[in-house]
Structure 1
Amino acid sequence: MSVSIIGGINIDFKGSSYQKLSLKTSNPGRIFYSSGGVSRNVAHNLCKLEVPVNLFGVVGNDVFGEIILAELNTLKINTNFIKISDNYRTGVYLAILDQKKDMLVSISDMEIIKEINVNYIEKHKDTLLHSKIVFLEANLEPQVIEYTLKILENTDVCTVFNAVSNQKVKKLKNIIGKIDYLTLNFSELKSLIEQENLNFSDYKSIQKIFSEEFPNIFNLIITNGEEGVLFFNNQLKKTEFFSVEKVKDSEIIDANGAGDAFTSGFIYGIYNDADIEKSIEYGIKAARITLKSPKTVADELSCKIFGVRSGARDRRSLP
């Protein structure tokens, strides 16, 4: 069985200044482009982790679309379900990195994602129903998210949802379909529950607010960089904390893609029937590898990195 991945496929442009950024002027630096998009990145990561994937999405009938499809075919990712649009150009993501190689600001031109509609999902329903896991993300239109979850309701298909950004995660407020796992960072969580002053260590407040407002989301995985990872089981009202070994600033080349890598490592664990502890450990290790890579999907990523237990050094069940 495969993992079916539905969502954004685009070209990424990233600019990195050689020195501290000066605003409202030109900054000497390096500009890099590659295939991107949350769903494409997750598919690429899982391919490197030897997980069979079906990628669902849309590209434009243009040179960027050709570049992306050629690369996906080289990776042997199934592109049979990808739609080619004559109405929109291929999505583009533009990111500016600060002197620490972390994203300062970005612009996402993803109007093409409107072509992933209910009719598109209905057309591929049988493939989704025969998947082990279906991954969705907040770039998708709310009605598409809801319809997909409705199709998968009362099946054995596991659903994993990624928040994408502070703004896009708010779409979940109007979603009532059941989601097995939601992965997001702490900033996205605060935006979702509208608690900007919330402290990451205040897990009881997180637990209370989330269980009251989102009973349809069964499990929550919150990443917060070197501060660690929180896992919350919404049904058992159980919270666990996982520590993360700090990556030295000198080792970080590009933070873009680390979140997608974490989600991919987590999905790898779930796909292979690992427990939550192992799956989160895999996610942490995949993210660490990606932080040290200039690419959104690290060349060094493979199943071999999961052989030695070092990522989640401390795991605690919280009362």
Structure 2
Amino acid sequence: MTERELEILALLKQDPLIAQQSLADQLGISRSAVAGHIMNLTNKGVIRGKGYILAESRYAVVIGGANMDILGRPLNSLQVGDSNPGSVSCSPGGVGRNIAENLARLGSETRLISAIGKDTYGQMIVSQCQQAGIDMKGCLQLNDANTSTYLSVLDGDSDMHVAINDMAILERLSVEVLKEKEELLRRADLIILDANLSAESLEYLLNNFSDRPIFVDTVSCVKAKKIKPFLSSVHTLKPNLKEAEQLSGIIIEDYSELPGLANWFHNQGVKRIFLSLGSDGVFYSDEGAQALIPAIPIAMVNANGAGDAFLAGLAHGWIQEWSIEQSTKFAMAAAVVALSHIATINPNMSEISVNRIIKESTC
């Protein structure tokens, strides 16, 4: 779906009886343009019948952090311990939220469960998520807590130099709160977790919903430790090499040893693993295939968010029932789309833009 179709679909979910003129007024376009988009959605089978009855579709539930990202970018090389001329920007972020927005922009039905404050940052996050087509009804909105913030500073090569996160609010996404979402989770075709969740919440979700495919983003070496006791419940795991080495206790000296590392995870019950090797690409493995796919060359603008786009690409491929190879190549191209924009989420993220990257990289 196009970005405009996603915006219309999000409004229809909130009010299936909304008038076309009201849609036009909210989106700042003509009524005839709205009618054209609705006809396209009908032809695609997304809308069925009068009253904008929406077709039942497979959906993913993403559970994790939702932050406001504050990004500092130096004009030249970063001078540590000094004031650096540059730019500062704000955009909604958070691993879980980023995955959800990328997945929605790719065209997959997406629900987000997170915790945010009823403050300025929280309202900005809700607004952008809804515009991207994310169902936000499962989010916990609190009057007595501040929305998470993630402050990062890039170096002169546009890679992260240092970051500080304030994510205390996510502790409020407790087991008791998650139990209230059980019906939503039971009906999901896919559950995606980020390791920012508390150990208790991860334990509850991985122990009680392992009959659903569960994808896990390890986030960092420190946070990855929380999922080690529950690897048997993980369908798809996306660590970088350091995180995989820490979880397994296996140190890789040469990439020829990657199959053995992947097999350790399979022996723990993980069905699919995708090892991020940075500029060297991605090694994927399931119980039937293993391969290292080289990275797609890219002039990086901002390293933040590439891993989130990659996991969203994998999730989209799973929902579309693609092979592991096709899903990996699609996910790597989605990461390239993310890397090419200063914001954490590239507003041009779509299945069309990702496939364009794939086509250009194979020419």
**TM-score in terms of structure 2 length:** 0.78
| 2:185 maps to 1:128 | yes
- Provide Cα deviations, 1:96-153, integer angstroms capped at 9, x if missing partner: 1111101111111111111111111110111111011110010011221121122223
Q: CA contact under 8 A between 1:20 and 1:98: conserved in structure 2?
A: yes
Which residue of the partner structure matches residue 347 of structure 2?
299
Q: CA contact under 8 A between 1:12 and 1:92: conserved in structure 2?
A: yes
Over 3 Å counting, the alpha-carbon distance change for 1:18 and 1:279 in structure 2 is same
Work out the CA distance in 1 between the residues paired with 2:259 and 2:102: 33
Q: CA contact under 8 A between 2:234 and 2:270: conserved in structure 1?
A: yes
| 2:217 maps to 1:162 | yes
Q: CA contact under 8 A between 1:18 and 1:99: conserved in structure 2?
A: yes
Question: Unaligned stretches of 5+ in structure 1?
Answer: 314-319
Structure 1 vs Structure 2 CA RMSD = 2.0
Over 3 Å counting, the alpha-carbon distance change for 1:74 and 1:307 in structure 2 is closer
Which residue of the partner structure matches residue 70 of structure 2?
13
Which residue of the partner structure matches residue 175 of structure 1?
230
Which residue of the partner structure matches residue 116 of structure 2?
59
Equivalences, count: 304
| 2:131 maps to 1:74 | yes
Over 3 Å counting, the alpha-carbon distance change for 1:204 and 1:282 in structure 2 is closer
| 2:274 maps to 1:217 | no
Q: CA contact under 8 A between 1:13 and 1:92: conserved in structure 2?
A: yes
Work out the CA distance in 2 between the residues paired with 1:202 and 1:297: 34
Give the CA deviation at 1:225.
2.3
Q: CA contact under 8 A between 1:146 and 1:177: conserved in structure 2?
A: no
Give the CA deviation at 1:205.
4.2
Q: CA contact under 8 A between 1:42 and 1:263: conserved in structure 2?
A: yes
Over 3 Å counting, the alpha-carbon distance change for 1:117 and 1:280 in structure 2 is same
Over 3 Å counting, the alpha-carbon distance change for 1:87 and 1:174 in structure 2 is farther
Work out the CA distance in 2 between the residues paired with 1:131 and 1:283: 21
Secondary structure, in 3 states, of the residue corresponding to 2:76?
coil
- Provide Cα deviations, 1:124-183, integer angstroms capped at 9, x if missing partner: 111111011110010011221121122223x3x211110111211121223255110001
Partner residue of 1:241 out of 267, 292, 297: 292
**TM-score in terms of structure 1 length:** 0.89
Q: CA contact under 8 A between 2:69 and 2:93: conserved in structure 1?
A: yes
Work out the CA distance in 2 between the residues paired with 1:109 and 1:139: 11
1:230 corresponds to which letter in structure 2? F
Give the CA deviation at 1:228.
1.5
Q: CA contact under 8 A between 2:276 and 2:283: conserved in structure 1?
A: yes
Over 3 Å counting, the alpha-carbon distance change for 1:151 and 1:211 in structure 2 is closer
Work out the CA distance in 2 between the residues paired with 1:196 and 1:97: 29
**Is the deviation greater in 269-278 or in 182-191?**
182-191
Which residue of the partner structure matches residue 270 of structure 1?
318
Secondary structure, in 3 states, of the residue corresponding to 1:217?
coil
| 2:240 maps to 1:185 | yes
Secondary structure, in 3 states, of the residue corresponding to 2:221?
coil
Over 3 Å counting, the alpha-carbon distance change for 1:204 and 1:307 in structure 2 is closer
| 2:196 maps to 1:139 | yes
Q: CA contact under 8 A between 2:62 and 2:96: conserved in structure 1?
A: yes
Over 3 Å counting, the alpha-carbon distance change for 1:29 and 1:201 in structure 2 is farther
Partner residue of 2:171 out of 114, 131, 141: 114
Over 3 Å counting, the alpha-carbon distance change for 1:71 and 1:305 in structure 2 is closer
Work out the CA distance in 2 between the residues paired with 1:179 and 1:222: 15
- Provide Cα deviations, 1:25-46, integer angstroms capped at 9, x if missing partner: 2111111110000111111111
2:353 corresponds to which letter in structure 1? I
Q: CA contact under 8 A between 2:337 and 2:354: conserved in structure 1?
A: no
Over 3 Å counting, the alpha-carbon distance change for 1:282 and 1:208 in structure 2 is closer
Work out the CA distance in 1 between the residues paired with 2:250 and 2:155: 26
Give the CA deviation at 1:218.
1.9
Which residue of the partner structure matches residue 83 of structure 2?
26
Work out the CA distance in 2 between the residues paired with 1:287 and 1:245: 9
Over 3 Å counting, the alpha-carbon distance change for 1:180 and 1:82 in structure 2 is same
Question: Unaligned stretches of 5+ in structure 2?
Answer: 1-57
Secondary structure, in 3 states, of the residue corresponding to 2:246?
helix
Structure of larger gyration radius: 2
Identity level (%): 27
- Provide Cα deviations, 1:66-117, integer angstroms capped at 9, x if missing partner: 2211222222321111111234211111111111101111111111111111
Which residue of the partner structure matches residue 35 of structure 2?
none
Secondary structure, in 3 states, of the residue corresponding to 2:151?
strand
